[in-house]
Amino acid sequence: MPDEIDELRAKVEAAAAGIRSRQDLQKFKEEFLSRKKGKIPGLFKKIPALPPQERSSFGQRVNELRQLAERLFKEAEEGLKGSLWRQKLQESIPDPTLPGYLKPLGTVHPIPEISHRIEEIFLRMGYDIEDGPEVEKEYFNFDALNIPPHHPARQEQDTFFVGEGYLLRTHTSPVQIRAMRRRKPPIRIIVPGRVYRRDEADPTHTPMFYQIEGLVVDRGINFAHLKGTLETFLKALFGEDTRVRFRPSYFPFTEPSAEVDISCPVCGGKDPHCRVCGGAGWIEILGSGMVHPQVLRSGGIDPEEYSGFAFGLGVDRISMLKRGLADIRNHYWNRMDFLEQMK
Ligand code: PHE
């Protein structure tokens, strides 16, 4: 026969199983455990009224019931803490399994990216980086560079003139003059920058493009220094297997002058139908030469004492080559889908 202890135990167990909140927990404590009104302490109070031989076992069973109630209370309290914590967490943080928001990240544009790579190579060889104005004196762009008055580049249709005696520089070479006037030899500089020519935009021309000029002036500089420097540079940029070829050429500001070719970086000269070199096996990459004595003089340097070499390369062209671009204008259309692929 279940007695009142068994009945109370059933109630305790049912009540404990129903605890869902702090209030439930409090109610449980008051109903069963509180010293004053709790039902379990209430049972203890009955002991003195029992026949002496029953007191001990009754007391023991009530004691067990109290321990059980205390344990259930503790467990419910712990469980509640856990679920409250989980609830808080769910309210305060988003679902971590959802995909994140992607912020579109920009990248370095392909032109400065190549330009920086080239600068790095020359910085390692001890060169400084020089700068010059894009709106340039006609004198620095042409006269000081030994370009004669009848030269076609001096015509309106080839050059953007801006007012009397000024123009948008057609190459970075005028910075040679500026640097020679500003520095004392030894001079070792490269000059990255924009240049302008009145060309209709097409797959191989844009009216604005990028060049990097190089200039070295010191005692005893000769053509071997030019060759060694450019070979070292071109192998660093295009790979150690690259072959370099010098072809006699003409620039008014260098004498002798040479155009420099590299073995085709795409087919290495092996594909007669190569879309980059067209089967020639060689790609023209830059212009160069020994600085003309007249140019040294324009820069305030005595050609009897000093000599130098200079070179100029097109950054856009190198970017096209390295990336296999068919159209130079890709650099300037600002199309995200193109730029994304250039990362
Ligand atoms: N300035 C020349 C050009 O724009 C390149 C060049 C620079 C050639 C220096 C020789 C020496 O074509």
Complete DSSP assignment for 56-80: HHHHHHHHHHHHHHHHHHHHHHHHH
By DSSP bridging, strand 208-218 and strand 244-251 are: unpaired
pLDDT recorded at residue 236: 97
What's 29's DSSP letter? Answer: I
pLDDT recorded at residue 146: 96
Using the mean position of ligand 1's atoms as its centre, give its distance from the Cα of residue 247 in Å: 14
pLDDT recorded at residue 334: 87
Q: DSSP 3-state assignment of 339?
A: helix
**Per-residue three-class SS string for 30-41:** HHHHCCCCCHHH
Mutate to test the pocket of ligand 1, among 251, 291, 294 (most ligand atoms within 8 A of CB): 251
Q: Give CA–CA dist 292/285, Å, rounded.
A: 21
Q: Which residues line ligand 1 (CB under 6 A)?
A: 171, 173, 213, 251, 254, 287-289, 310-312
Q: Which residue, among 323, 270, 280, 298, has the nearest Cα to 180 in the 3D structure?
A: 298
Q: Are 173 and 312 contacting, i.e. CB atoms less than 8 angstroms apart?
A: yes
pLDDT recorded at residue 267: 87
In the predicted model, residues of the chain with pLDDT beneath 50 are none
* Burial of 100: CB neighbours in 10 Å, binned 0-12, 13-18, 19+: exposed
Mutate to test the pocket of ligand 1, among 247, 253, 257 (most ligand atoms within 8 A of CB): 253
Please name the residue whose Cα sits nearest to atom 6 of ligand 1: 312
List b or e across 213-244, with b for residues whose CB sees 16 or more CB atoms inside 10 angstroms. Answer: bbbbbeeebeeebbbebbbebbbbbbeeebbb
| Contacting residues for 266 by C-beta, under 8 A, at least 6 apart | 274, 275, 276, 277, 321, 324
pLDDT tens-place string over residues 91-117: 887 778 888 888 887 888 999 999 999
Q: What is the pTM of this model?
A: 0.71
Ligand 1 atom with minimal separation from the 287 CA: 8
Q: Give CA–CA dist 19/27, Å, rounded.
A: 9
Please name the residue whose Cα sits nearest to atom 4 of ligand 1: 171
List b or e across 265-298, with b for residues whose CB sees 16 or more CB atoms inside 10 angstroms. Answer: bbbebeeeebebbeeebbbbbbbbbbbbbebbeb
- Phi then psi for residue 186, to 5 deg, are -70, 135
Ligand 1 atom with minimal separation from the 170 CA: 4
